Amino acid sequence: MKKLNLILILVLLLSLTLTLSSAAIKEPEIRFATTWPYPFHGNAFGPGAIGGAWWFAYEPFAYYIPATGEYIPRLATSWKLEGNKLVVNLRKTRWSDGTPFTAKDIECNIAFLHAMWEWPYEIAGVEVRSENTVALVLSSTHPFLIHSLLTDGAISTLAPYHIYGKFLSEAKEVASLGRKIWELREQKKTVPEDLKKDYDKKAAAFREKVNNFSPIKEIGRMPVVGTYEPTNVTQTEMVLTKNKYHWAAGKIRIPRVVFRRWSSNEFVWASLVAGEIDAAHPSIPKDVVDQFNLLNPNLKLKAVSDLSEFALIFNFEKLLFKDLTLRKAIAYALNRTKIRDVAAWQAKDVSDYAHGVLKSMEKTWLSADFLKTLTNYSYNPAKAEAILKEAGYTKGSDGLWRTPDGKVVAFTVSVYGPHSDWVLAAREITEQLKNFGFKVDLKIIPEGMRDTVMRGGDYEAAVEFGTAWWGYPHPAMGYTRIYQGEVADFTRFPAKSKFKTPWGDLVPYELTDKLQEVTTKPAEAKDYVMKLAYITNEYLPMIPFLEKVLPIFYLDGKRVTGWPEPDDSTWSLAPGGIERVYVLLLSEGKLRPKL
């Protein structure tokens, strides 16, 4: 009831705001909610990048529709493999400032990705064959890599040559040094200390220079090759204007996109009910959802799997969490079903295993017989106590557990504040672990500080996304995230170490590489998935507690109309970047002003 009262108050305030501001609206627009860095710098490599404007400003070579397996050309008109080269034919289009988009922009962009993010080093070189044809020279042509290169929004348009070209010679130098180091490590060779020092010095200086660069300050705008350019950004609102040079500009019928700041899920709920925004995907308590149709009958709901899990992750640089017994005890001590019910009631239950395969895909990839060989971590506090005592932990008269060397088991669970569903989960996790006998505190990560805190290792345990199959619904995507991607960056889990398994000592990082190479060969892929599932479940780099379902709320008929039918395959593009759904519908002219 308190939540509903809060929403009604917010709806009233938003309605008053709309009444006062509606007269100023002179052209059709569509409204969403998101976050962005402020002051806004317009630099993809700067702190906070460009927030939720990402998919509107940047274009991948193609979109991939998971429901149909179809690739929809975007910045590319076609592509093909020629030996170890991915040859891409580019659209004849322009940046939003009128500058022609060419293969030189791709060359510049790849150099910046290597120099700034040390990725993707699998691109060994870039051949500019003509103004509109580029060939990416690859060290590997496995399907997973090709898919990522085609569909990742970062590959092509973050660093336009006519804006970032002044840094290009330095970018290429840093990129070359970084890739040499990567090659040596891939070959399991020792990196010369002088090479490492030279790279570290030049990379740090270059990154500082680029991080501080602001197109908004230097040239007064942020030229984009995507559908919309950020043109007016304040702390509370970000306005994007149609790129009149975009190849689909003639089809785009809505010239403005307006983002309200996603300050909290509660604000977004109220904005949806008040008709202040046209679509959003907040996690919403069931009692609130039940009232939505009464408060706004034009509000529709489409639920799709987000192809991701929420998880409790650990910082493996902290001595406490190097102990597998403690991690297993935490898994047994958590009532994950209750955590799900508190945080996201509509999510899928994952309260038994922690194997890294999405629950919705479990039967496809893991047999019932194999699952029986895994440790089942269903809620069992008695089991948690037993394994702790067996490992030498003791529980004092104060009710607190102590390590074998007599120290109280004490740690902090960090959580990003703007994600209210994560906060709800973190609070429940903290309370459950306190009740079990651990000394646990909750720490809220302020808005805009998530990457800084997590990548900097300034946490002990945290609520985060765990496995995620965004963009490509395959276990390879999830295990890449866990052992080579963002989760690996956050946790520092020793993914390149050997772990004992029924098949001998195995290295999850290497298994992930091999899985990426056989994504189109189900029988071979299942063998690697099984081995990775075993390591993930038995060595617990994280403890998942729900599979996220993406509830997409959209308003039909106030400002815009033309939303897809509920069974339309376009919705399956939402996981990992729901803005792509909006961009696709806008650029195809399907979303249009309500007349």
Statement to judge: residues 339 and 427 lie in one domain = yes
Mean pLDDT on 203-230: 98
Residue 274: both structure tokens together = 């008040």
Is 184 part of a structural domain of the chain?
A: yes
Q: Would 498 be classed as within a structural domain? A: yes
Co-location of 8 and 150 in the same domain: no
What's the pLDDT at 316? Answer: 99
Those residues whose C-beta lies under 8 Å from the C-beta of residue 386, and which sit 6 or more positions away, are none
Quick: pLDDT tens for 467-508.
999 878 899 999 999 999 999 999 999 999 999 999 999 999
Taking phi over 0 as left and psi of -120 to 50 as alpha, with beta for the rest, 562 belongs to: left
Residue 10 pLDDT grade (very low, low, confident, very high; cuts 50, 70, 90): low
What residues pair up with 465 in beta bridges, in sequence order?
310
CA distance 231 to 97: 12
pLDDT at 20: 40
Tell me the C-alpha distance between 18 and 275, whole Å.
Answer: 9
CATH number of the domain within which 575 lies: 3.40.190.10
Do 149 and 254 lie in a common domain?
Answer: no
- One domain for residues 252 and 365: no
| Residue 192 forms part of a structural domain | yes
Q: What is the pLDDT of residues 436-469, one digit of tens each?
A: 999 999 999 999 899 999 999 999 999 999 999 9
Query: Are both 105 and 197 inside the same structural domain?
Result: yes
- Domain shared by 415 and 524, yes or no: yes
| Residue 47 belongs to a domain | no
Residue 189 maps to a domain: yes
- C-alpha 540/C-alpha 315 separation (Å) is 12
Residue that wins the pLDDT comparison between 5 and 56: 56
In a 13 Å sphere around the CA of 590, the CA atoms on its Cβ side amount to: 13
Rg of the chain, C-alpha, whole Å? 25
Q: What mean pLDDT do residues 81-109 have?
A: 99
Residue 11: pLDDT band (50, 70, 90) is: low
Strand 85-90 relative to strand 123-130: parallel, antiparallel, unpaired?
Answer: unpaired
Q: What is the pLDDT of residue 264?
A: 86
Residues 539, 422: one domain? yes
Predicted pLDDT of residue 23: 43
Q: For 117-162, what is each residue's pLDDT tens digit?
A: 999 999 999 999 999 999 999 999 988 899 999 999 999 999 999 9
Same domain assignment for residues 238 and 98: no
Average pLDDT, the chain: 94
For residue 143, what pLDDT is reported? Answer: 87
**Does residue 405 lie within any of the structural domains?**
yes
Shared-domain flag, residues 208 and 289: no
CB contact set of 88 (below 8 Å; sequence gap of 6+): 61, 76, 78, 79, 106, 133, 134, 135, 136
Same domain, 368 and 501: yes
What is the rounded distance in angstroms from the CA atom of residue 534 to the CA atom of residue 511? 12
Please report the pLDDT score of residue 7 as a whole number.
Answer: 54
What does the alpha-carbon distance between residue 224 and residue 245 come to, in Å, rounded to a whole number? 10
**pLDDT given for residue 420 in this prediction:** 87
**What is the residue range of 231's domain?**
2-13+29-38+224-304+553-593
d(CA 486, CA 331): 22
Three-class SS state of 73: strand
In the prediction, which pLDDT does 69 show? Answer: 86
| Residues 215 and 223: beta-carbon distance below 8 Å | yes
Q: How many other C-beta atoms lie within 10 A of the C-beta of residue 188? A: 7
* Residue 256 host element (H or E): strand 256-261
Q: For residue 130, what pLDDT is reported?
A: 98
Q: How many CA atoms lie within 13 A of 430 on its CB side?
A: 20
pLDDT: is 182 or 294 the higher one?
A: 182
Per-residue tokens: 247: 């190849």
Count how many Cα atoms sit within 13 Å of the Cα of residue 187 in the half-sphere of its side chain: 10
Q: In this prediction, what percent of the chain has a pLDDT beyond 70?
A: 96
The answer on pLDDT for 22 being more than 50 is no
Does residue 270 sit within a domain? Answer: yes
Boundary-marking domain end, from 216, 234, 269 = 216
For residue 2, is pLDDT > 90?
no
* Omega prior to 285 cis, within 30 of 0: no
List pLDDT tens digits, range 361-410.
999 999 999 999 999 999 999 999 999 999 999 999 999 999 999 999 99
Overall domain count for the chain: 3
Pairing of strands 499-501, 401-402: unpaired
Q: Report the CATH number that the domain containing residue 311 is assigned in CATH.
A: 3.10.105.10
Residue 96: give its domain's CATH number. 3.90.76.10
pLDDT digits (tens, 9 = 90+) for 169-199: 999 999 999 999 999 999 999 999 999 999 9
- pLDDT of 280 higher than 90: yes
Rounded mean pLDDT, 323-348: 96
251 plus 340 within the same structural domain: no
Alpha helices for 377-471 (secondary structure H): 381-390, 420-436, 450-455
The domain boundary residue, chosen from 515, 532, 548: 548
* 543 and 396 together in one domain: yes
Give me 233's structure tokens. Answer: 């950004």
Alpha-carbon dihedral of residues 220, 223, 226, 232, nearest 10 degrees? 0
pTM of the model: 0.81
- pLDDT for 519-569, tens place per residue? 989 999 999 999 999 999 999 999 999 999 999 999 999 999 999 999 999
Residue 67 maps to a domain:
yes
- In the block, tokens 């940046």 appear at 95
- pLDDT surpassing 60 at residue 38: yes
